[in-house]
Chains A and B, each alone.
Chain A
């Protein structure tokens, strides 16, 4: 079965304007010319996919924008989404030597977006790196960034790749889980189309039984696991099974795909990671008057990047530190309030309620965003694949698991990092897979 076509909801596009608008052509040229063209550039070293940043930037300044885009895609097939979602402040732009000149770093993310926008607008496709198809078939499970990167790299080297996903649209979190003002679903799907145009086959399929996996092992020479993480963790408090309690990923995917374009006037988000911040910002843009974020630790402990946190504060989101939800009060139709309590940290993950500190926050929608569990049930069916702390254990440089027929990458390996990390994992695994298969072919 093919993935379905997708039409964005016009209202969503309007409410979620670009966080970082694109460069005008002349501005891009001027910015590109600011780049010093460092040797063995720190920005390139800081990028998990090692995009040759000075090279692609200099190509913009020489007006070779197509060449710039292919330089990016050579290293990172999801260059367009990474240009938008990468935390550049802590990656390439954070490493820019301009900081040491007491100047603003080169706006690498926006320049990358400039090149990628040009590429997709031109309608040109990527060419394969080899002319001959190879007989080996490879399956990628999950259609998120790790699998897309793995599939694109293998297909470009002549292997035949099929990507399976249980969701109707490919792209994984890029399509379903990233705040719309950073990355629109349509832009993510554009990248899926680029991968498809290389010859990668996409199928909608959920692997639920051991038998499914056995059939897969029989049909494909190598299996790449790019399955990401499982469902959001539960709060374990009374009332959380109410339909107005929606986990953050489901909430984000529902507005991105046009299923939800409004929220109640008061929204509470639990957790202070990047996903929580995305959900809180989205609630604000979807019309919430008040958005509260509850976090059980202190401000300095949040796992969201500081620029994301600053964005949220600017949007008027209110943060409550050392606070946990205790119960959800509701009637059949709607939520009434969240009962909260102040806590002291007593141990690493233990929190003690401060007596008589509880208070009520009026709330019409509750969005828990307290992290995802691993896909343990599925992964335990993959024979010989070792797990540790809910993650797949792989050899770092190749992505190979304890079962040499299985490779893995992305969130299911690293426990939940950035898109660019998943892409890097996928690409490394592809190179590892190609090495194994070529080695086998040489001795066949």
Chain B
């Protein structure tokens, strides 16, 4: 081992530079203190009930209509609460959950290959590099099986075997077949299931759906979340909506990197505004880099496209052994001149190593100058994902049946036929494991504000295993949140708040002021140019590999960018109309602030962990070196004010069941 940091040498750069302050420790107090397998059942029993007649007197606002928000809205509507759901798209069916391709995990053990709730729990804690909570992860594994039942009953057309039963496949990072899938469109099919359940409640009158509405502020009254300020993106009207509780299920913030696999509209505003109102933001620097994306082709590119990780089940990943072969036709490179580097370094897992490892090794071989494809920047950023062997063994028809739509998509984007020439892939920003801090009830540090799905931080630790995002979104939305929020609601209805309350007026006024300011700057740079510059800084210094020097530089650059943004951005048009530049401007302003916090979080965490590799913390072999002595905690950041430094609260992570050990896939 090299360069392990003793506590004495942890003279922290962040504190030394006044970038943050230490705050009091925090803890999750809601998980019952019983054996891990009994915690969820105990909590469900202990959580107070709300009598059906009282439910209709209670209103819940849900922001976001993806798997978590859509499922939560539908389920709360079925239960009899008044639900008001908001999404920025023109229909809840378009939430970005729809783009997930590969599948959804569930501990059904339909293959009798040794799977169990405990194994799914174990794999997830270990895969997350011991930076998630045991209680939450166990519950996730426990309810996973019910998700499949629910979705099948809704008519989700999962893949089936000839006997009529559901088919399963294995997925990156695991050795059992626990992944349920619907060709390469699992996310779409699951989302449509939740969307149909949601529309059923819309028709029943229990859910009021507000599409093309964007949350721009959280309303906090007497310390409790009581509503949201939203903008009708068609008329521009700024509206106030009040409720007994607010649920944020607004997704992740990967678009801070500009180029990512996220939809163009994905943004951090809902959670960032809540953060500024007092909700702690946890582990913001935990970004997942997905190993199997179509490589970047040029400067104009607006987004990256992911290829399902399931491709790694049958494709073999390699690069030429010799640099001089990199520009050759791959079919002409002899077998002995190919380096199947994952199979070589990790013989037990081979091409199925977890995402962070697959991503980093791809970067390493490209950094060595053995990448393939066009030169972007100063080197080739791509590795081969080759199906020649499986096509030889099983035939092209077999491969087409399993992955046909992915192959077609690849061909459309790159103009190359992957049945004949190996695909090229490269890592890209995909999912963010950080998010608002929540307790076992999914309640944030603001009472009455609940956070579900990718928007919270809790279940994936520092690295998310494949096919787990869909599982968490639906677990939170269908099963967890509706059970835990009732405990909070059982104490309601909360004192009536009207639109004339000072705190409500102040929240609305701040939104109006901000919109007016953005429109009045009339500078010389477009919103997108700021976004691209931010993304470049984030990828360069807070991406797959980080260092103290790089992060300090990034913080300076981001502060400069923020300053320039508010002096020099150009947003045309008016506030009272459909104005897409104005929408983007508000989101990019928030992404800039988040970017700074991500860098501060990355700076203070002087260990390599999950999806991020810290230069100062590596083994002699160059593998990521976690530091459990100093960093086995959740970093929960409190907003320190516009001029103040953020405050770091630590929640210690305790591992009673899955014992802390260095991950090894060799």
A and B bind = no
Q: List the interface of chain A (C-beta within 8 A of B).
A: none
Seen from chain B, the residues whose Cβ lies within 8 Å of a Cβ on chain A are none
